[in-house]
Structure 1
């Protein structure tokens, strides 16, 4: 890998057990349920007693126990909650009594997310996508069953109904984000990425322009630099802290040094990531006002922020903001939005046109008259009109529960961070995990408060000797235990490099380098294990994650899982770097 390969030797393991995992014979075959594990390991695997019972359709061996009223009230109903889970939950409530203020979300969990219990799945990948509530699907299905919707580019009754649904959805989006309809409009896109791309391709970058962004940003934000550099603009990065995000003073210095000399002749764009999808940092939205005061146009990537935080475009007057609705309330996928100032939109120049964008097109010739509706000039082809009513209903749904989420997630995050940080290997007493992402600095106590971080824990698992356990092994083990989490760099290479402390290696990359090359250079798999909480998360989800981490800290269970991982994977992942 050029200079990178000369300084780092790849660590190769050829289809044999890693030295960090000692072989212990336990009676378990590949694909077995964890209820079949031998008695000496059963205590460690107690979290699975409920999960596999649903998966394997086994009958409880004992009669259901009655538990304290508080547990039934504030946790999903189950017939066979283990004593360990009950005890842990009571201790949690004693430590975080304010969690009881969010009981309405426990009620929501029972009414709209019962499939999590019946399938035995622990879902902790809300940053990847929220889980849709069943009531939203029912309402939307009923609407479709009794309505006739047509293409919006017509004047028929079915088309008028579709157009009304689209207008209602735009109004709902503006209301949800407290954006004045006099100043802002909504462009529907396939996702937040599509919204960001709209700005990048249509922004008037020139040789004197600057595009300023944080290293800790999604690839969709980084991708705008291709448009900027193609047109001769400078790309200026705000360097991250060791836990991602950036210091406000650092951002202000970069913005000041690269500010526009004249917005008309050389406009400059500042893209702010509201919340990192890997480092868990929240950036102060007030930096948008500072950038605007220097003459920048401002773009807010709110894809990760909008699901659990209140955003007011009356207070934070960004020129444009990108969101994805599936990350907010799970359904529909394939629909996002650019919430954008009309004055800013009028300055963008699209490099092409399509059906729906135009009023008159001269053929042959070069004359094009754009649609008189500003948002239509940026919505290519036919919008996803069948799903837009679900956007309206989804925003109303989320509005009812969003005030309770920060407090609830604050309790769960403090419990999760504390429990994982205290986890030790039974053989050496060394830490079993290393949390790399930013952790909450303050604990919320009231409904309506806003957290200083998101609800993500990005970490790596460590062997008893302190080596990084392969993320692919962790993800494999989690899937075997019906836990949905995510591993990798989360499409955020700058944030990943910051929290993994591999920025020097990042600087030495060369044209044509592959991910495998990069992994061999650093000596291990790239990325982190990400646990992210959201709308339907409850204590049992966090507790299950902690119990899972305990399995990997216990030598017998870790070795058992490693044996199955080796047998089933064939070690094709960079030969188990």
Structure 2
């Protein structure tokens, strides 16, 4: 056994002594050996689960075998091949409802390209009017922010609930804003991110119920939350919720869903129609009759019928392991944040990294417990003098060491501005401004280094990331890495 393996083994034993509850999640180690062998054979340390989960080999094999023995046709026909496709599609809808504990009598599933597509369906169809208000969080994904364009186009107001310095919001401030903007003569929409994709905050689902009591329609962005946490629409009913399956179990990509109350869907007004969404169209003329089934009215053209059976299998797969995941991630996140916080520069004794994202307030001890935050650690790397090192430099070194992470603002400008404290610069933006303009105003590259853990993250992954961060603590090592970075031309380009 070489020195690195010896060090890893010793560190692992120390970790288990500090976090004995980690042993309760041993089934995820078995899963990694059986379904994710390529992680260890390639030596890739994957820490971008928020960008996309890694698909399990078994799911791809099962689906490939299904395709090999099946003849599938467009669901808009009544042939045998079409009937088989329709059967698989209906099974997928039922599986989604079951997974999220949504009553089939109350909810419908609309398949989309991704979570963004689901959000756009709501935005373009919601009956905004002059007296309407669209209320949302500053700490939201751009796909949630984008709905404000539809609202403004119809003369509706847009109101933001401010973010704390670590993301999320203060419940009392949110309640005041919701009360101030509550519906009076026109429908109003409240959109809430269940879990931030950059600040790591989890927001209380009870806020959706509070908004509902004030008369709002409620839209829950669950794209980040659904991969690691159980969501029950029976316990926390909302009018609509978006998800992306590739974030949950990695395959298939290009398929998401809008899970919405049928009563809510009936109030939406689509601005156009397409193949599959109508049963009769007068040509020439202006008469059009929507399809009978509600979900058909929102699924433009032909759905991805070849991959939808994989959604059923993927949800079954995830159901077996999801109960163990919060406990494992709790142990890993606590170890990671604790280890990163202890790193110091060898020349000055100053911190190597600054953790900006929300940290969990408690450590989980039992299978089935749920954490109060996600499994994201957003950081910036610091020079010995305390200046933020360029994200491009961190990206460069990580790629050289086969570590997959992500840098930038993660399509969440509000959360990034709150954590990095450039809210005032954001307020000074002018029409047509670019990211480069904003970075010039702030005086540095914007964004964070995001480490996001997921289904088969293990101690070895986190230990390797801590060792990677430790490289920047050594003055000579950091200098050599910077030299390689500049010599490759990447640094000069940035």
Query: What secondary structure sits across from 1:327 in the alignment?
Result: helix
Deviation at 1:324, TM superposition (A): 0.1
Partner of 2:217: 297
Partner of 1:163: 86
Partner of 1:252: 175
Query: What secondary structure sits across from 2:108 in the alignment?
Result: strand
Deviation at 1:570, TM superposition (A): 4.5
Partner of 1:357: 277
Distance 1:522 1:169 in 2: 47
Matched, 1:105 2:42: no
Match of 1:236 among 159, 171, 193: 159
Distance 1:567 1:111 in 2: 41
Matched, 1:147 2:147: no
Distance 2:8 2:338 in 1: 17
Contact 2:486–2:492, Cα closer than 8 Å, also in 1: no
Query: What secondary structure sits across from 1:331 in the alignment?
Result: coil
Match of 2:383 among 445, 463, 476: 463
Partner of 2:302: 382
Pairs aligned (count): 494
Matched, 1:548 2:491: no
Partner of 1:121: 44
Deviation at 1:572, TM superposition (A): 4.7
Partner of 1:132: 55
Match of 2:262 among 342, 345, 369: 342
Partner of 1:500: 420
Contact 2:393–2:491, Cα closer than 8 Å, also in 1: no
Aligned pair in 2 of structure 1 residues 92, 570: CA closer, same or farther (>3 Å)?
Answer: closer
Query: What secondary structure sits across from 1:363 in the alignment?
Result: coil
Distance 2:289 2:221 in 1: 31
Distance 1:571 1:540 in 2: 30
Deviations 1:120-166 (A, max 9, x none): 10000000000000110110111001111000000000000000000
Segments of structure 2 that go 5 or more residues without pairing to the other structure are: none
Distance 1:91 1:146 in 2: 50
Deviations 1:503-553 (A, max 9, x none): 000000001111111111111101000000000100011101100000111
Aligned positions of 1:175-254 closer than 5 A:
175-254=98-177
Deviations 1:54-112 (A, max 9, x none): xxxxxxxxxx58xxxxxxxxxxxxxx971000000000000000000000000001001
Deviation at 1:249, TM superposition (A): 0.8
Deviations 1:398-440 (A, max 9, x none): 0000000000000000000000011100111000000000000
Distance 2:99 2:221 in 1: 16
Partner of 1:310: 230
Distance 1:335 1:298 in 2: 23
Query: What secondary structure sits across from 1:82 in the alignment?
Result: helix
Query: What secondary structure sits across from 1:529 in the alignment?
Result: strand
Matched, 1:522 2:445: no
Deviation at 1:571, TM superposition (A): 3.4
Distance 1:464 1:208 in 2: 54
Matched, 1:84 2:4: no
Partner of 1:288: 208
Deviation at 1:569, TM superposition (A): 2.7
Please provide the CA RMSD for this pair: 0.9
Partner of 2:240: 320
Partner of 1:476: 396
Match of 1:509 among 417, 425, 429: 429
TM-score where L is the length of structure 2: 0.99
Distance 1:346 1:570 in 2: 52
Q: Which has the larger radius of gyration?
A: 1
Matched, 1:406 2:326: yes
Matched, 1:435 2:355: yes
Deviation at 1:336, TM superposition (A): 0.1
Compare 312-321 and 558-567 and name the one that shifted more.
558-567
Matched, 1:371 2:294: no
Query: What secondary structure sits across from 2:64 in the alignment?
Result: helix
Q: Once superposed, which parts of structure 1, at least 4 consecutive aligned residues long, lie more than 4 Å away?
A: none
Distance 1:348 1:122 in 2: 44
Deviations 1:233-273 (A, max 9, x none): 010000000101001111111100000013xxx10000010
Query: What secondary structure sits across from 2:65 in the alignment?
Result: helix
Aligned pair in 2 of structure 1 residues 179, 570: CA closer, same or farther (>3 Å)?
Answer: closer
Distance 1:545 1:289 in 2: 40
Query: What secondary structure sits across from 1:272 in the alignment?
Result: strand
Query: What secondary structure sits across from 2:432 in the alignment?
Result: coil
Distance 1:171 1:496 in 2: 37
TM-score where L is the length of structure 1: 0.85
Distance 1:464 1:571 in 2: 19
